[in-house]
Amino acid sequence: TTAKGPDPERTEVLVGIKHKILILSGKGGVGKSTFTSQFAFALSSDEDLEVGVVDVDICGPSIPKIMGCENEQIHTSGKGWTPVYIQDNLSVMSIGFMLPSNDDAVIWRGPKKNGLIKQFLKDVDWCDESRPLDFLLFDTPPGTSDEHLSIVQFLRESQITGAVLITTPQEVALQDVRKEIDFCRKAKIPILGVVENMAGFVCPNCHGESKIFYPTTGGAKSLCDELGIPLLGSIPLDPSIGKACDFGSSFVDTNPDSPATKAYQSIIKNI
Ligand code: ADP
CB atoms under 10 Å from CB of 253, counted, come to 15
- Euclidean distance between CA atoms 239 and 258, whole angstroms: 12
Confirm or deny that 30 is annotated as ligand binding.
yes
Which of 24, 25, 34, 145 to mutate for ligand 1's pocket (most ligand atoms within 8 Å of CB)? 34
Q: Specify whether the CB–CB gap between 220 and 200 falls below 8 A.
A: no
3-class DSSP assignment, residue 216: coil
The DSSP element (H or E) to which 126 belongs, if any, is: none
* Dihedral, CA of residue 181, residue 150, residue 195 and residue 67, to nearest 10: -170
Break the chain into its structural domains and give their ranges.
2-270
Pocket lining: 66 vs ligand 1, CB cutoff 6 Å: no
Say if ligand 1 is within 6 A of residue 33 CB. Answer: yes
User: Are the C-beta atoms of residues 181 and 227 closer than 8 Å to each other?
Assistant: yes
- Could you give the CA distance from residue 85 to residue 52 in angstroms, rounded to a whole number? 9
Mean pLDDT, the chain cut into blocks of 10 residues (271 residues total): 48 80 92 97 95 87 94 84 92 83 65 76 75 91 83 80 92 85 91 93 77 68 91 94 96 94 96 92
Binding site annotation covers 143? no
Domain 2-270 indexed as CATH 3.40.50.300: yes
Is the CB of residue 237 below 6 angstroms from any atom belonging to ligand 1? yes
| 262 annotated as belonging to a binding site for a ligand | no
Verify whether ligand 1 is closer than 6 Å to residue 21 (CB atom): no
pLDDT at 201: 86
DSSP per-residue letters across 8-25: HHHHHHHHT-SEEEEEEE
